[in-house]
Amino acid sequence: MTEEMLAQDALERKKAWAFLEAAVRLLLLSSPEFRELCRGVLTGGRGFREFELDLRGALLGGAAAGVSENLSALDAESGAPACGACGSAMVRRGTRSTAPLSLLGLLTLRRGYWTCGCSKGGRHVLDEVLGIAGRDGVRGTPAALWALAELASETSFGKAAARLGRLAGVVATAKRTERAAKQVGGEITAWGEAEPALGEAPAETMYCSPDGTGVPVVRRDAGTAEDGRPSKTREAKVAVFHTAERRNAKTGLPERDAGSARHTAAIDSAASRDVDAEPSAFARRLWRAAERFGFAAAKRQVVVADGAKWIWNAAAELFPNAVCIVDIWHAKERLWEVGRAVYGAGTELCRAWSEKVCAALSEGRVDDVLRELRRHAGDKTADQCAGYFENNRGRMRYPAYREMGLLIGSGMVESSCRTLVGERLKCSGMRWSRAGANDVMALRSCVRDERYDDFWRRRRKPPPMAA
């Protein structure tokens, strides 16, 4: 929808609802009881804040009851739906109640239960039409899911539930919030797997920075209950896609363009054996994200990351034409580690040696760096570091990258690991199932990338009810 169509739509909706606003106004104006409550604000010492909250509660309560009764009555009048399996008209087998959470509070719906002779299962058609037939018995309306999931993307399920209670006057439990967040996160993952490329013009240069960060997961896989044993850590693999056409005013160096970052994050495997025809789960997800976010179509592709092997394996497999750059800060940090191991942390010798080899690295003299490292052969840190530089030397041509105007640091993805994953999934006492962690990371990525409203606009609309 264009901006204009959205504005037109909003106007039409406002017109359709104007009668209700007028009716409430009239009711409040003509009610002596309400006049007394207003007087109480002025004279009775009851604060205006409490008045407002009570008024909101009463309006929402009335609305929830009115909506429940109307929908239940309409369901009772509805015609027989066609059976999904055999196509014949289904038969109503009495009514049952349900209490989904909505942004008006709990609704109380009585709706028909429909069955067909061809199968054992039955359906609540009203639930399907309203979109409250959630996975794992979520029983929340779409608006409630929308609000709960967004709040839960920011903070723990318990705090999200409490926040909705305070801000919207709707009481949800932590459990319901968790289910809502996981359902929406799961839907966002499915949407991401199917969504076509975003349809922006191909970028001149686009960056992809993958990185890994540990998430505490519960120590059970099949059947056994959580038994309080310490959790273990699984690696969440995060990738950020972005552009960097902007230049720093002082240094002239490239900087990430504001609002350009797109994320994908999940716990999955980057391992694929040579005999496997299929790429790894991580490689498939990274490719899908590269297609969606325009990296696959970018005129120049740049992968900036630390020296982890799984990253460069995936990059070589998926993006054979990409410029691959080892994040210069990671490389320098490795050299400082050697300096500290060999000369002792904080010593003048450590500082002098580390600065010297870092300068050589900046100037692209990797041979000089390796020569310095080999002088300390036999020291474990120095030997490992030499291996790292040998494996990655083709991705350390920093003067050439600067010449090309490229970003040579991956600070972006590290801050994403911290803010996207760490601040939500690694708080004290948190332990996740792998599926739950993936649902919440998908949800959080979507919200942070400002695509949450897109998702809701495109979310599948339920089928209309039979007349």
Closest contact distance (angstroms) between CB of 122 and Zn ion is 11
Say how far apart CA 243 and CA 207 lie, in whole Å: 6
Closest contact distance (angstroms) between CB of 98 and Zn ion is 23
In the window 3-22, what residues touch Zn ion (CB under 5 A)? none
Smallest CA-to-CA distance from 200 within 322, 299, 324, 104 is with 299
Q: Residue 85 or residue 466: which is nearer to Zn ion going by CB?
A: 85
Say how far apart CA 138 and CA 177 lie, in whole Å: 9
Can you read off the two tokens belonging to residue 417?
């690991």
Instruction: Identify whether the C-beta of residue 205 lies closer than 8 Å to the C-beta of residue 298.
Output: yes
Q: Residue 81 or residue 254: which is nearer to Zn ion going by CB?
A: 81
Residue with the two structure tokens 């210069």:
328
Closest contact distance (angstroms) between CB of 115 and Zn ion is 9
Interface residue with Zn ion among 64, 83, 328, 420 (CB under 5 A) is 83
Closest contact distance (angstroms) between CB of 116 and Zn ion is 3
Binding window for Zn ion (CB under 5 A); candidates: 82-90, 353-361, 443-451, 457-465: 82-90
Say how far apart CA 428 and CA 426 lie, in whole Å: 6
Phi, psi angles (nearest 5°) of residue 270: -100, 0
Closest contact distance (angstroms) between CB of 137 and Zn ion is 25
Smallest CA-to-CA distance from 218 within 206, 228, 208, 210 is with 228
Q: Residue 98 or residue 115: which is nearer to Zn ion going by CB?
A: 115
Distance of CA 180 to the CA centre of its chain: 13
Instruction: Identify whether the C-beta of residue 280 lies closer than 8 Å to the C-beta of residue 269.
Output: yes
Cβ neighbors of 14 (< 8 A, separation 6 or more) are: none
Cβ neighbors of 28 (< 8 A, separation 6 or more) are: 34
Q: Does 89 bind Zn ion (CB under 5 A)?
A: no
The identity of residue 179, as a single letter, is R
Say how far apart CA 204 and CA 184 lie, in whole Å: 34
Binding window for Zn ion (CB under 5 A); candidates: 75-83, 137-145, 379-387, 391-399: 75-83
In the window 112-131, what residues touch Zn ion (CB under 5 A)? 116, 118
Say how far apart CA 330 and CA 328 lie, in whole Å: 5
Binding window for Zn ion (CB under 5 A); candidates: 101-109, 111-119, 249-257, 375-383: 111-119
Interface residue with Zn ion among 85, 171, 198, 271 (CB under 5 A) is 85
Closest contact distance (angstroms) between CB of 233 and Zn ion is 49
Q: Residue 23 or residue 86: which is nearer to Zn ion going by CB?
A: 86
Q: Does 86 bind Zn ion (CB under 5 A)?
A: yes
Closest contact distance (angstroms) between CB of 268 and Zn ion is 39
Smallest CA-to-CA distance from 147 within 131, 129, 163, 126 is with 163
Binding window for Zn ion (CB under 5 A); candidates: 84-92, 272-280, 322-330, 355-363: 84-92
Closest contact distance (angstroms) between CB of 14 and Zn ion is 43
Q: Residue 84 or residue 394: which is nearer to Zn ion going by CB?
A: 84
Say how far apart CA 56 and CA 51 lie, in whole Å: 9
Q: Residue 116 or residue 206: which is nearer to Zn ion going by CB?
A: 116
Question: How many Cβ atoms are within 10 Å of 262's Cβ, its own excluded?
Answer: 23
Closest contact distance (angstroms) between CB of 83 and Zn ion is 3
Q: Residue 66 or residue 117: which is nearer to Zn ion going by CB?
A: 117
Distances (CA, A) of 431 to 231, 248, 443: 7, 40, 17
Q: Does 240 bind Zn ion (CB under 5 A)?
A: no
Instruction: Identify whether the C-beta of residue 386 lies closer than 8 Å to the C-beta of residue 373.
Output: yes
Instruction: Identify whether the C-beta of residue 354 lies closer than 8 Å to the C-beta of residue 336.
Output: yes
Total of chain residues touching Zn ion, rule CB under 5 A: 5
Q: Residue 90 or residue 104: which is nearer to Zn ion going by CB?
A: 90
In the window 397-436, what residues touch Zn ion (CB under 5 A)? none
Q: Residue 79 or residue 399: which is nearer to Zn ion going by CB?
A: 79
Closest contact distance (angstroms) between CB of 89 and Zn ion is 9
* Greatest C-alpha distance within the chain: 92
Closest contact distance (angstroms) between CB of 78 and Zn ion is 18
Instruction: Identify whether the C-beta of residue 373 lies closer than 8 Å to the C-beta of residue 390.
Output: no
* Sites of contact with Zn ion (CB under 5 A): 83, 85-86, 116, 118
